[in-house]
Structure 1
Amino acid sequence: MKRRIFALLTLMVMLLTFAASAETEIDRTGDRKIDLQEVTENTVPEGISPTTGLELSTYTVPEGFTGMALTGRYLPMMVQVGNDEGGLEWRAPWGLNYADVVYELPLYKYGATRFTGVFNDIVPDSVGFVRSARVGNVWLWKEWGAGFAFYGQQETPGSDVVEEFKKLGHYATNDPILFSGMVGKNKAWYKYYTAREGLKNPYNVDANLSGMYSLIPEDYVAPNHTFKFADEPLTGDAATEVLIQWTNEDELYGAKLLYNADQNVYERYVRVSGKRYEPWVELDNKEKITFTNVIIQFIDLTWNRGMVNAPIVEMVGEGNADFFMNGQHAGGYWKRADMDSRTVYYGPDGNEMELQPGKTLVIFFPKDSTEERHIIYQ
């Protein structure tokens, strides 16, 4: 009898363990039957960051840096940051750990991605390595109205960054809030791009965002992009591990997000081979770049003229979205009405999703289904 009871107890433990660790693959296109409610512009109390929901007085701003925590001015800065070879070792980013929001966008068909960082609370004097822009970055920039640093751009007809800026009433190399690196010494911001010693080209381009910030006219006002923040932790199903698989062709762009309960953040790990992952860290201090909120935004993705490096990423539209916070998951929705609107994220109840105060990672992930492409959590 005792043996039978012990066997039953063992079986129960095994079943509970299996249930707790069961993998769930996200349905990217299924109808979630969410009734979207009307939303308005958000506000935050004085002294609270509109991009992180954190108290600005708690920051220590390093010498040479700037940002809302120092000046009190809401003025986001945006920069293109490379993710070549998974952003490991000497290709690791620097300064990106100060970003309030980091976007990851598709770059190549085989799975390579690139980051766009948005800085507001603290704007550093050194960020890199800076890379070129694609049209999706232009459309993303439009909703922020941020100062934008990028080093080069695609100019292929159909995915021409210069033309997209023109359509929006701006000029890529002659605009008070655009800081292209492909300009001559006559531009005031030219001196704020430098080559970092010891790193190979093109993985060595450094941007002094703080310097560029100082060039933006004092009367310029960026559009309101305040997130809605929660007072309570997210309640959903357990999600302490999130697997992001873009393709099987290049493992270095697969990633795993692991929840660190002690710090209430998700740490990002890059797949280097098989099931082996290495932590994604900042180049200088080797500290992990972490996020309190992770948003998966499912988008339509096409390729201009079938080119492998000319992504057309849906920025205006709508679709499913999934949220990961405090070790929990919730399914929701996203919608952006037009170029002049911000992207609104909706929770399962149809109201605007409340984020946890802290930094946010947004991954633009294709809606279309392939055998290689997955997002799985457990």
Structure 2
Amino acid sequence: MPRHQMGGHVPAREVVAAATSAKARRIARADPPANPEAGEPPKRGPRVNPPTQTEYDALPVDKRMELFQARQQRPWQHFTAVGVFVGLLFTAGGLIYTASTWETGQEALRSTQQQQITDRYAKAVEQLGSTKVEVRIGGLYALARIAKDSPADATTIEDVVVAFILEHDYQPTREAPEPPKSGWQPGPDEAHAVRVLGMVINDPSHRRSLRSAQLAWVDWPGVDLTGCHLMGADLRAANLSGATLVGADLRSALLTRATLYDANLYDANLYDAYLGGATLTEADLRGADLRGTVLGAADLGDADLRDADLSRAHLRGAYLRDADLRGADLRGTELGDADLRGADLRRIQGKTEQQIRAVAKVDATTKF
């Protein structure tokens, strides 16, 4: 009779052997492995059943303790996974709420900023109508600041400043339909207005013309017009002696017989301007754009024209004695009867010494 039927004790060794044999039989009944070379689909792996009570009792104490602890921890692992998932949901919801709140705040901020700009604009325009010149000047620079802070409003501000300039230029009357040839002085805010216009436009390709601005015979000695915008302006016979016109936009401006003695026109844009008969003695024209500029019979004695662009300029009969033209661009420049005695023509571009000698007045003091 077998020992288990007799109520005897079954050795652990035999129990483990029986469990191992049972496990082997279960694996043998499982599906065989797939054969990739034969094109067979992968087979499902064997199912591992939990150990029976007999197998569990036959395990060593430390293994049984590991299984016991694993069974105890399994429910808590599920709870932990659920907690992590719920935490992720709360985090995602918080991020969505934060993004929505941020966008709402940005819209409110933009609305507030726009209202502030509107209020600043209204106040600045009101200042332009003041009877006090300092208040009007303050209004002009306030508009320049608004144009910088709000580029979308720059065109509107440009129109306002142009209207201010036209209102404060020479106003013809029945008795004096044209400016007096003896000269006239505009208010101090007019100079600030053309400077502010240059600040508002701030674009070399901009073609806003001030052709209708009446500034002929204006008496502006020593005026600071740095960066001003006077494109197409009528400045005939204007007195701009000692004026600062650094970086000024004078494209197509009418400066016939204007006086620009010792004026600073460094890097100024005089493209297609008319300066016939103008006085530019000792003027600083370094790097100036003088392409296509009419300078016939102009006085440029001792003028500094280093690196100036004089291509296609008209200098017929111009007085350039002792002028410094080093590095100037003379491609296509008309120099018939120009006086270049004592002028420095070293490093010029676009013309040879022979070409210049053939048309202009030169002598031993002319430097090539």
Taking structure 1 as the reference length, the TM-score comes to: 0.19
* Higher share in helix: 2
Higher strand share: 1
- TM-score normalised to structure 2 length: 0.19
Greater C-alpha radius of gyration: 2
